[in-house]
Amino acid sequence: MAKKKAWTISREQKILFIDKNNTELSVRQQCELLGFNRSNLYYQRQEKELLDEHQLRRAIDEQFMKDPCGVIKMMKYLRRLGHTAGKKLIRRLMRSMNLVAIYPKPRISQKHPEHRIYPYLLRGVEIVRVNQVWATDITYIQLARGYCYLVAIMDWFSRYVLSWRLSNTLDASFCVECLDEVLKKYGKPEIFNNDQGTQFTSMEFIQKLLDANIRISMDGRGRVFDNIFIERLWRTVKYSNIYVHEYPTMRDAHDGLRIYFNGYNTERLHQPLDYQTPWEVYYGIKFCQPSQGNSLSLP
């Protein structure tokens, strides 16, 4: 007579059997009866919570690119998408993602008491040449499991991305490194514009600008239109690259963005630049189309 196989159930099925509201058996006793390690139960729940939070971050990031709104309006958008997160969680995630509404409520974010805030210098100023104004900003980058932050420095006139860096924290050091690189490689602008984030108001960052005799301009707190070209860059990067590839790790994101920014600078045509690339405008290179084939010629 053939021996019957023992009845077995998977870990996932065991989890379904556990009732935390059972008044006769504690969760520990239920786990013992099922031959199940209680730590696996909490690990499974933690894993699901992390996955849910990851999906929520992605939804917040995509919606914010369409409408840079505050917590209440973001919650309403997320409700329509089927997310049930409350204000407290959404506020925490938006803060960790460095997302600020265009017109935030007063005193939502406080400037560092030791950091000086400089006036905005670009209102009504006509930008007519390269290296007249450089600008910088930080944006949140969603990875397949986790996230990181991207900083970039751009020449306003040409839209040329001079340098960029990734970091898994919002520490000021990666912004300072990015600034160091552009000053050594490209010289200096007449005006450097950034927001009032602590990374850009830090003593180390500001001192490098002052030492180079660069005029400092800071846009109003939360007023993304004061740095509109960088905001447009973020929208382009995310919809053309980040959301498409869903990079697994920060290293993968770095490799992918290196290729992307090279193409953005040297291949992407911009209508406001008379259908030239940022590279052509920044370096003053004119594109010529002879009778046979295309070529680039120096003036």
pLDDT in tens, the chain (299 residues): 544 444 455 555 555 556 666 666 777 777 777 676 666 655 455 545 556 788 888 899 888 888 778 899 899 889 988 888 889 999 998 888 878 764 443 332 335 556 688 999 998 899 999 999 999 999 999 898 888 999 999 999 999 999 999 999 999 999 999 999 999 999 999 999 998 889 999 999 999 999 999 999 997 654 555 688 998 999 999 989 998 898 999 999 999 999 999 999 999 999 999 999 999 999 999 776 554 444 333 33
Same-domain check for residues 192 and 87 = no
Q: Strand 215-218 relative to strand 161-167: parallel, antiparallel, unpaired? A: unpaired
pLDDT of residue 266: 95
Task: Pull the structure tokens for residue 104.
Answer: 């935030």
Same-domain check for residues 213 and 86 = no
Number of domains within the chain? 2
Residue 178 · residue 195 · CB < 8 Å? no
Amino acid code (one letter) for 55: Q
Residue 63 · residue 83 · CB < 8 Å? no
Write down which residue in 90, 105, 120 finishes a domain.
105
Dist CA 200 CA 13 (whole Å): 51
pLDDT of residue 25: 72
Dist CA 166 CA 265 (whole Å): 18
Same-domain check for residues 243 and 174 = yes
pLDDT of residue 96: 85
pTM here is 0.70
Domain-located, residue 111: no
Domain-located, residue 38: yes
The pLDDT tens digits of the residues spanning 85-138 come to: 889 999 998 888 878 764 443 332 335 556 688 999 998 899 999 999 999 999
Domain-located, residue 120: no
Same-domain check for residues 177 and 78 = no
Residue 257 sits in a domain whose CATH number is: 3.30.420.10
Residue 189 · residue 155 · CB < 8 Å? yes
pLDDT of residue 40: 60
Residue 156 · residue 132 · CB < 8 Å? yes
Domain-located, residue 128: no
Domain-located, residue 60: yes
Same-domain check for residues 141 and 40 = no
Same-domain check for residues 87 and 150 = no
Domain-located, residue 274: no
pLDDT of residue 7: 47
pLDDT of residue 104: 42
Tokens 């805030």 — which residue?
117
Same-domain check for residues 66 and 159 = no
Same-domain check for residues 98 and 137 = no
Cβ count within 10 A of residue 236: 15
Same-domain check for residues 87 and 155 = no
Q: Which domain does 83 fall in, by range?
A: 12-105
Domain-located, residue 212: yes
pLDDT of residue 280: 96
DSSP 183: H
Domain-located, residue 226: yes
Same-domain check for residues 146 and 233 = yes
| Measured CA distances, 95 to 100, 141, 231 (Å) | 8, 14, 18
Same-domain check for residues 91 and 145 = no
The pLDDT tens digits of the residues spanning 24-45 come to: 677 777 777 767 666 665 545 5
pLDDT of residue 206: 96
Buried b (16+ CB within 10 A) or exposed e, 219-234: bbbbbbebbebbbebb
Same-domain check for residues 145 and 93 = no
